[in-house]
Structure formats: structure tokens, C-alpha cells
Amino acid sequence: MITPTGFREYDARWKYPDDINLPGITALGLGLGTQMYRRGIEPVIAVGNDYRDYSLSIKNALMLGLMQAGIQVRDIGPALSPMAYFAQFHLDAPAVAMVTASHNPNGWTGVKMGFERPLTHGPDEMSELRDIVLNGEGVARPGGGYEFVHGVREAYLDDLVGDFRMTRPLKVVCATGNGTASAFAPELFRRMGVEVVESHNRLDYTFPHYNPNPEAMEMLHDMAASVKASGADLALGFDGDGDRCGVVDDEGEEIFADKVGVIMARDLARLYPGSTFVADVKSTGLFASDPELIKHGVTADYWKTGHSHMKRRVKELGALAGFEKSGHYFLAEPIGRGYDCGMRVAVEICKLMDRNPDKSMSDLRRALPQTWATPTMSPYAADTEKYAILDRIVGKLTTLPELAGRKVAQVVTVNGARVILDNGAWGLVRASSNTPNLVVVCESPDSEAELRQIFAELDAVIRSEPGVGDYDQTF
């Protein structure tokens, strides 16, 4: 049993066992192995799983299908998604499959996969895989095998920290929401000489406090409370599979990840002037307008949201880094390897703090030009309807002469519609690639009042579609 909508733009996600069962997962493995042979990929794959209670069963079913397809499986055990990506390099494996539902709530499962490191499947690869699986084109071949590989976790942590040690005292709230990052992040900080304030760092796949997602205000509020209670210098929080990082500063201010990206970009631009940075369409306009970045000759490129889209764009442009509002950051050579790794981001933020010993995180936040922005808000839209709904909304938005009393300067339609006003304010509507939702974000460089007006008028257009339901959060 496999529901077709589980094959998404850049990974696979299903409700389990409602939308896919274990034989369906095995068929997915057979299809993925068949795809490797079709594309001439050496038949070796690194496979990991997150800590959810059903992920091991899913991984075993997936590996069975891969072995049936004639693939040599290298099982790295429980892992973060970026540890699986690291394993591709560490083990010189041409392919990767990571069993995870990422930040989706319990009851979801999925697979993030890729062939050409550090890239992961994009729309072309996903539609090819979907056709192989749903049309029963998977081919069984001899030569499959299994090996459990020990020591990848330790090699991953060694690679992240290297010989770096803090030279200033730094006290960090480490928030993992009881997810898989609980088995990695506290040790990572201690290896760097960071004082750790533990926050929900016990592995517990029931997620008793909140679903680990550093884009959700619930998690950010909890991180802020921990900072205030402990007097920490900042809080760093990680999602369910550890490929994203969220930040709260020393004053308990929740800094949205795109603004943290600008803080990091400023620091990196001083070290690597003339760099190109890619930002997703949900991100702040500051990547293009910030005077500090302009001073260091930075080129800003706004691109499609989604970890596979962003990884590909960073590689294509030879960019130094890519930043997503969701907290996926893609740090390329010489900093990282180009894949999204929340642990790498945490290390680089600690290094940034070490390079600015006289500054707090709130100082770095206040140094940015002020803008007012919404959190990422997701109104319900069924997977089978959301793209058609979005097309109609985009059609309406592209004909708007003005929004919130301002002239529309440009509508960027690379991923949904980002309506940009004559003062640089903007509002975005796109379809979520992972869940049955639309995604809405707005920003104003002028005032909160303008921000609220942009959202109200944008929401009125969205509400003209009867298939759109309630928001998951508002502001």
C-alpha cells in the first residue's frame, strides 16, 4: 500500500501505517535500488534512521527492498540526517537513504535520499522514483548485501569540531525536544568547551513536551524561557532529524532563522568578501539590502524553498552558503560540504561568538537593520488540491496593482508568489512540499502596522479559496 501523494518534491513522506505499510516501504526500496541501476550509480548505499519508535521497522523494510534490487547496504544505525549525508563522504558511498519524517509530528515517516553528494533528490528524481514504484517497474537483481558500520557517529562529531575550542566562556541552552539530536548536540557543545544548559535532551520518541521544530513558536518560546531562567548566552534548538537549527538570544528574543542567516552572512562576508549567498523565497529581504553585506561585495540570490532545491542552487552557483527561513543552512567549502546540518550551524555560531568576544547575540541582532516579520504560517490545504489552489492564488496576486496601500514593484513566481512592494516590504504564498498546507510569510522594513496590513490583505486573497483551512500558528 502506497499513497501516491507521499512522493513529494524533494523527499518522500507518508502517514504510517495509514498511507503506506511495510510491504509498500520494501517496494520503495526496490524502486530506489532500480533507480540506482538505471542511472549507472555504483550499487552501494549508506542508510540511517531517526529515533521514532517505528523508524527501525521502516528502515528494515526499506533495506530489504534495496537488497532485493542488488544493492550493498551500509547501515550506520540511528542517525541525524546530516550524519547520513556525512556517511556518504566518510564511507565513500555514492548513495544515501535516511529514514525520517524530519520535523513532521509522530505518525509520519519518510525517506530523504540522494545520489550525487551533497545533493538529494529533486522533483525530477522523485517523479522518476514514483513512476518506478507505482508502475511496478522495480527489478530484483542478485548481489545485494548488508553490513552494519560502526563508528560513524564518532567520526561525524570529530569532523564537526576538529581542533576548535572556545576561547571565551559561552553558556548555551541546548534544546532538542527529546528528538534524535538529543544523542548528539550536548556532547558536541561540550567538546568545544561550551557550558551546556540541557533542555529536553533525553531521547523520548513520544515527544512529551513539544514536537521538535525550531520554526514553531512553541519550541522557540520554551527555549526563551530556558535562557531567562539560566542566564545563558543563547539557546540553540534542533529539529527531529538534526538538519535545522533555531536561535534565541541572551535577552530571550527569538531570532527567526533568516535573520540569524544575515548575522552569519555578515560574519562570513568579512572572512570571504565577494561571496555569493543563496536565500529561499521565505527569507528576509536583508540579504540583498543590508549595507554591511553590500560593503563586502556580496551577491544575493533568492531561490526555491526546499532542502534539495537549495543544495542544488548553492552547488550550481558555487555559493559560500545558502540560508532558509526554516533553519536549513547549507554551508559549502571551505566551511562545510554543502548539505544542511544543524550541528554544523551550531559549531559555526559558536565560532562566530568566539570571533566577537565583546559582543552578545543580542548585540549582533540589534546591529541588523530593523524589519518586522511574521513567523512561517501554514493554513491547511489538502495535498491533492494545494497546487491547484496555489495556482489560482498566484493568478490573483500577479494582477494586484497595490497591497497595503503601496504599489506592487514586482511579483517573484519562482516558488509560489512573493509580492514585493515599492519599499521592499513583501508577502509570500507558496505550497508546502512536505505537508497538506500552504505557507505564508510577510515582512515590512517600515512598521508592525504595515506588516499586519500586508498579512490581512494577503490573507483576504487566500481566503477567497474555500479549500484553505485554519492556520497552524499566527502572530
Report the residue count for the chain: 475
pLDDT of residue 19: 97
Residue 432: CB atoms within 10 A of its CB come to: 20
Dihedral (CA of 366, 251, 82, 3) sign: negative
Which pLDDT band holds residue 265 (cuts at 50, 70, 90)? very high
Least confident window among 17-21, 191-195, 212-216, 354-358: 212-216
Any idea which residue has 540570490 for its cell?
A: 301
pLDDT of residue 215: 86
Q: What is the pLDDT of residues 128-187, one digit of tens each?
A: 999 999 999 999 999 999 999 999 999 999 999 999 999 999 999 999 999 999 999 999
Taking residues 7-33, report their average pLDDT. 96
Asked whether the predicted pLDDT for residue 190 surpasses 90, the reply is yes
Asked whether 313 and 303 are in contact (CB, 8 A), the reply is: yes
Asked whether 111 and 8 are in contact (CB, 8 A), the reply is: no
pLDDT of residue 276: 98
Among the options 102, 199, 275, 283, which is catalytic? Answer: 102
pLDDT of residue 438: 98
Taking residues 442-467, report their average pLDDT. 97
H/E/C letters for each residue in the chain? CECHHHECCCCEEEECCCCECHHHHHHHHHHHHHHHHHCCCCCEEEEEECCCCCHHHHHHHHHHHHHHCCCEEEEEEECCHHHHHHHHHHCCCCEEEEECCCCCCCCEEEEEEECCCCCCCCHHHHHHHHHHHHCCCCCCCCCCEEEECCCHHHHHHHHHHCCCCCCCCCEEEEECCCCHHHHCHHHHHHHCCCEEEEECCCCCCCCCCCCCCCCCHHHHHHHHHHHHHHCCCEEEEECCCCCEEEEEECCCCEECHHHHHHHHHHHHHHHCCCCEEEEECCCCCHHHHCHHHHHCCCEEEEECCCHHHHHHHHHHHCCCEEECCCCEEEECCCCCCCCECHHHHHHHHHHHHHHCCCCCHHHHHHCCCCCEECCCECEECCCCCHHHHHHHHHHHHCCCCEECCEEEEEEECCCCEEEEECCCCEEEEEECCCCCEEEEEEEECCCHHHHHHHHHHHHHHHCCCCCCCCECCCC
* pTM more than 0.85: yes
pLDDT of residue 160: 98
Q: What is the pLDDT of residues 335-371, one digit of tens each?
A: 999 999 999 999 999 999 999 999 999 999 999 999 9
Asked whether 213 and 103 are in contact (CB, 8 A), the reply is: yes
Q: What is the pLDDT of residues 405-417, one digit of tens each?
A: 999 999 999 999 9
pLDDT of residue 9: 87
pLDDT of residue 433: 85
Taking residues 118-124, report their average pLDDT. 95
Calculate what percentage of the chain has a pLDDT beyond 70.
Answer: 100
Which pLDDT band holds residue 104 (cuts at 50, 70, 90)? confident
**φ, ψ dihedrals at 442, nearest 5°:** -135, 155
What is the overall mean pLDDT for the chain?
96
Q: Look up residue 302 and give its three cell numbers.
A: 533568492
Taking residues 445-471, report their average pLDDT. 97
Strands 372-373 and 438-444, by their bridges, are antiparallel
The C-alpha atoms of residue 77 and residue 132 are separated, in whole angstroms, by: 27
Q: Is 81 a catalytic residue?
A: no
Asked whether 466 and 425 are in contact (CB, 8 A), the reply is: no
pLDDT of residue 89: 97
Asked whether the predicted pLDDT for residue 404 surpasses 90, the reply is yes
pLDDT of residue 77: 98
Please give the order of strands across the beta sheet that includes 321-323. Answer: 299-303, 276-280, 321-323, 329-331
Kindly give, in sequence order, each residue whose CB lies less than 8 Å from that of residue 154, ignoring residues fewer than 6 positions away: none
Asked whether the predicted pLDDT for residue 434 surpasses 90, the reply is no
Kindly give, in sequence order, each residue whose CB lies less than 8 Å from that of residue 469, ignoring residues fewer than 6 positions away: 379, 380, 381
